Structure formats: C-alpha cells, structure tokens
Structure 1
Amino acid sequence: MNHAARHTTFIKQQAAALGFDHCGIAQAVQLEDDARRLERWLQQGMHGGMQYMENYFDLRIDPRKLVPGAQSVITLLLNYYPETLQRPDAPQIAKYAYGADYHEVIRARLNQLLAKMQTEIGHIAGRGFIDSAPVLERSWAQRSGLGWIGKNGNIIHKQAGSFFFIATLIVDIPLQYDGPVANHCGNCTRCLDACPTGALAAPGVVDGSRCISYLTIELKDLLIPESFAGQMQNWAFGCDICQDVCPWNRFARPHQQEAFKPLPVILNLSTREWEDMSEEAFRKLFKHSAIKRSKHRGLQRNLQFLKLKG
C-alpha cells in the first residue's frame, strides 16, 4: 500500500472514530463550473441581503487559495436527524438547531482529526471549515462521492438522506480520491412543489432571498416582507420542508450524538411560552444553541409574523 492509500485509510478510520458518519476525499482544484453557477446566482440577487456571499469569490472556487499548497479536500458528514420531533402545534425550529450549536461541536472534532493526522503522518498544513468560511461544501461533498446535489439544493446520500452537517478539511498532502456518484432525483419534484415561498427557483437552485431559512435567520431587517405573510407554515427558525418531503429521507435514521440531543424547551414549549420568553431567558436557554443567531428580537419578529395571514 502506497503512502496516499495508507494515509487515506487512516484518515477515514479516525473520522469514523470521532463520530463522523461519512468521509469522502477529492483533489483540490479550481471549481470552474461552480464558479460560473455562483456568479450567475449572485448576479440574479438570489443571495438577498447576504452581502458576504459576494466576498472572497476567488477563495470560494479554489481551495488552494485558502490553504497554500493544498492537494486534497476531505469532506465529512455528521447526521443530525432527531429521534423525537417538536409538538406540531408549536412554532417550528429546523432540526439542525435542536441541540448544541454544531459549529462548536464539529470545529473541535476537525481540530482533533487534524491533530491525529499530524501525529501519524507528520507535518501537514491544513484548515478545517464548518459553515464559517468561503467554502462550497456541497460541491466538495458531491465531488467526494458522498451524494448528489438534489433539486432542493441539499446533498443527498443514497443510503441516508440529507439531514447532515457538512464539514471540510483542506490539507496539503496527496490522498486517494473518491469519485462522484450519479444523481438519483429522477423526475421527482416533491421539494419544488412543496416549497411555500417559491424559493426553489429551478432544480438545484435556491433563491436565498425567498427561502424561509433566510427570512427567519439571515434577514436582519426589522420586518419580514408582508408578501410572505401566510406562507411560512409556522416556521420560526429555519425550515425543513424540502427535506421532509424528499423520498430519500425515508432512509434517515436518528443520530447517536449526545451533543445534538434536543433541548427540552424546544420539544415542549407552547406558542404562548415562546412568545412570552424574555431576552434574559432566551440568552440563557440558547447560549450554546444555533438559535442564538436570530437573537431574541429576531425570534420575536418571526413569531409575530407568523400571526399574519396572507
């Protein structure tokens, strides 16, 4: 077994030991096709108020500019599908935010993986990313054979669905590379048909400015545009509609991650209790939760908007 093969085997074994569900590896190259798609997406204003998406374009499409000398992009998936769901009559929270903030959990594991690699292999220059830097995670997941980009814009794993966090580790050593898998969406349009705001502009193209996740989290305006009144389907933080209706998620299985165990308040609070929550209580309850991104005022804005009827 050559060095690249041995190192690849070691990395995938360590990734599994750290709790990652899937690991795929691709060669670090410039993503030319993705660059054209990203440019069109930005030109059409589908990023809404997410102006940061316009920054660091060159870094987004070429990992070698993020990590000088980069040769390999390691992509890792971590399941977050919960065993227990919220009460259906309460304001809905996206499943990824049920437990601890995934940024904190996964960043620590990426650091551990890189440290293990450096101990076993030797000096490695590398950087780990989890939804916090200009990295096209879904493109790398697809190139790494971990799934295909579905019509809802999510990575879909044929045996496990799409309820996964995607983490990326870019390193400057050669490894054995996995090949992409075929797209298995076929003629299915369930996600496109189910999106209440028309955010799925075309198969695989998400108009972020219309997405409920954007409207309830990323949009920082004091008010959500009234044109979306009556279309939010009780989602107060994020949205899972396009994943919930996807046939491939019949293969989703509950995660085994203690850190992602649902916070009791998320499962049990009534609409009135959400609405009556003080800012102090919000900060205390969601100190280590992704929900803190919306801030108390943002969540209250969302709850009030849900009362509007279109």
Structure 2
Amino acid sequence: MNLTLAAKSQLIKDKALELGFDLCGIAEANFLSEEKERFTDWLDKDYHGEMGYMANNVEKRLDPRLLVENTKSVVVVALNYYPESKQEDAEAPVLAKYAYGKDYHFVIKEKLNALLAYINEEIGETQGRAFVDSAPILEHAWARKAGLGWIGKNSLLLNRKLGSFMFLGELLIDMPLEYNTEIYPDFCGGCNRCIRSCPTDAIVAPKVVNGSKCISYFTIELKDDITEEMKGKFQNRVFGCDICQDVCPWNRMVKPHSVEDFKPNPKILSLSKDEWFAMNAHEFGDLFKNSAVKRTKFKGLKRNLDFLTE
C-alpha cells in the first residue's frame, strides 16, 4: 500500500484518538533554535534548582535527532486528566489532581507503544521510541510545534478545549510524515491571573517559571529540608500544585476525563485532615502504590506534612 505522507499522518492521528488520546499532532524533528536562548538562560539563572538532570544533555533536549538516531518525526499526544471528583475534606492537605489516579507514565507509555505497533503493522516499518516526561525532551515546545496549543504564562501548554490539565507524550520515529505548519494562536491576552496567584512568586515573567521556587519543586523534587522562607506559602499543598491552573480562565469549562486508569482512588479523596497527618508508612504504601505520589516516598510526604504544621 503506497500511502501519501498526508494519508499516513491522518491514520496515525485517527489511531491516537481511537486509543483514547484527546489530541495528536506531528512536527518535523529538527533543532529547536527558538528555544535555545530561552532554555540556556533558564539554566544560567539556576531556575532548575537541585534538578541537576535538567542541565544534562542540553543539545539532545534541543534536537531529538541526537536523542534517537534517524528521527524524522515527532508525534505528540495529549490526554486530559481533569477529575470529576475532588478531595472531600476542605481542610485536608491538598494533592495535585494529576496524582489522583494511576501513575500517568505507565498509562501514556502503554498507549504510545500501541500506537507505535499500529504504525509498524498498518502503515510501514519504522524505528522509534516512546517518551513520557522521562527523557531530555522539551515536551511543551514540541506540543506547540505540533499544533496542540500555545504556551501559557505559567509555561504550561494550553488548548482552547482542554485547558491545561493534560498529560503529554511523544513518539520519536524515523518515518517522514506530513507536518503541522500552523502555530496555535496565543489566547492568554492581557490575563495574568496565574502570575498573580502563585503564592511563592515562582512565575517570574510571562512563560518563565523559576522552578526552584515552585511548590511542586519543594514537595516533589527537593530532597533536603524546605527553606523556612516558604513557611505559610503552600496553601496546604502537600504534593504538587495546581494553583496556577485552577485560576486559569481556560480551565473553567474543561470537561472531566473518562480514562478509567485516571479515576481517583476513593480512599485518597476521602482522607480527612486527621487521617493525612496520622498516616504511617504501611498506609502510604497501600494508598499510593500505583500513584505518582510514591515518587516522593513516605519520608518525603512526611516532611511535607510536617512543614505544613511547623
């Protein structure tokens, strides 16, 4: 079957939606020249804090052809994770919404590998790899280049229908395809609610986040004690932070996802304030065994809980 590049690309996008993804776009793999100065400046200002891995493999982050040899196309997918239900106790420590259900890394990667298998079976033989937030890839930049949305002032990808509560994933393949050529318009306008609402002033300029001041950094990435200057600024956040997303007008009308794996663990949502603070290591392991929260381990969660009460 001799398919055109356009036909191949459409088949991939259709299959991605069939697999449950909400968006799929394709960009040509090349050097992200417009991102180079922005990213290196971000590193020079130490906005990555103790996330030393961000300073590794800079050239690979800017050019996926160095990450996976012979890469021609970057297939980018997005999956809504906005939950229908929220935590029940208004006084309980707050968990980022992306951690309500099963760890997204496994869910997205399984779907991406299924998409890669489909390409090989139905479209043509190709070599490639699937990535989900675990490799030197500037995923927001590639999502924008693939036409999935624009970069908001909080540096997250925004889409008019899905807002920003989206997981992203990428397939780097050696198959030439038809590429997106239209840049999604920036619909943030003069709004700066995300900047004004960040309690730690982590959004230092439109589209520039000082990662070392972000609540997500302190509660997940940081391994040492949380600095005293942050005392009283977390707004009860214990793992991750959604504040800049919660205030975004583009998230007002977002519909809840329908992904079974992302459905919240009822036990987690029903935890009372007292139950959070009384949690032991065994209960932590049982509650969060399939959740992204396990990344912080019980020691990290306990540190975060203690910081909220000290």
TM range (shorter): over 0.9
Q: Specify every segment of 5 or more residues in structure 2 that has no aligned partner in the other structure, as ranges.
A: none
Number of matched pairs = 307
Q: 1:251 is paired with a residue of what secondary structure? A: coil
Cα displacement (A) at 1:175 = 1.1
Contact 2:268 2:287 survives alignment (8 Å): no
Residue in 1 that maps onto 2:65:
64
Cα displacement (A) at 1:67 = 1.7
2:214 maps to which of 186, 211, 214: 211
Q: 1:106 is paired with a residue of what secondary structure? A: helix
Q: Distance in 1 between matches of 2:271 and 2:161?
A: 33
Residue in 2 that maps onto 1:225:
227
What amino acid is aligned across from residue 244 of structure 1 in structure 2?
D
Contact 1:93 1:266 survives alignment (8 Å): no
What amino acid is aligned across from residue 192 of structure 1 in structure 2?
I
What amino acid is aligned across from residue 288 of structure 1 in structure 2?
N
1:99 maps to which of 90, 98, 101: 101
Residue in 2 that maps onto 1:13:
14
- 1:272 maps onto 2:274 in alignment: yes
1:121 maps to which of 120, 123, 129: 123
Cα displacement (A) at 1:58 = 1.0
Question: Which 10-residue stretch deviates more, 71-80 or 120-129?
Answer: 120-129
Q: 2:86 is paired with a residue of what secondary structure? A: coil
What amino acid is aligned across from residue 32 of structure 2 in structure 1?
L
Q: Which runs of 4+ in 1 moved over 6 A?
A: none
Task: Tell me the TM-score normalized by structure 2.
Answer: 0.97
Q: Aligned ranges for residues 142-157 of structure 1 at < 5 Å?
A: 142-157=144-159
Q: Specify every segment of 5 or more residues in structure 1 that has no aligned partner in the other structure, as ranges.
A: none
Residue in 2 that maps onto 1:193:
196
Q: Distance in 1 between matches of 2:216 and 2:254?
A: 21
What amino acid is aligned across from residue 135 of structure 2 in structure 1?
A
Question: Which 10-residue stretch deviates more, 234-243 or 170-179?
Answer: 170-179
Cα displacement (A) at 1:2 = 5.1
Cα displacement (A) at 1:122 = 2.3
Q: 1:63 is paired with a residue of what secondary structure? A: coil
Q: Distance in 1 between matches of 2:7 and 2:185?
A: 27
Contact 2:27 2:74 survives alignment (8 Å): yes
Q: Distance in 2 between matches of 1:110 and 1:169?
A: 7
Q: Distance in 1 between matches of 2:223 and 2:33?
A: 32
Q: Distance in 2 between matches of 1:255 and 1:117?
A: 26
Cα displacement (A) at 1:208 = 0.4
Contact 1:70 1:170 survives alignment (8 Å): yes
Task: Tell me the TM-score normalized by structure 1.
Answer: 0.97
Cα displacement (A) at 1:251 = 2.6
Percent pairwise identity: 52
Q: Distance in 1 between matches of 2:123 and 2:271?
A: 49
Residue in 2 that maps onto 1:32:
33
What amino acid is aligned across from residue 243 of structure 1 in structure 2?
Q
What amino acid is aligned across from residue 304 of structure 2 in structure 1?
N
What amino acid is aligned across from residue 173 of structure 2 in structure 1?
V
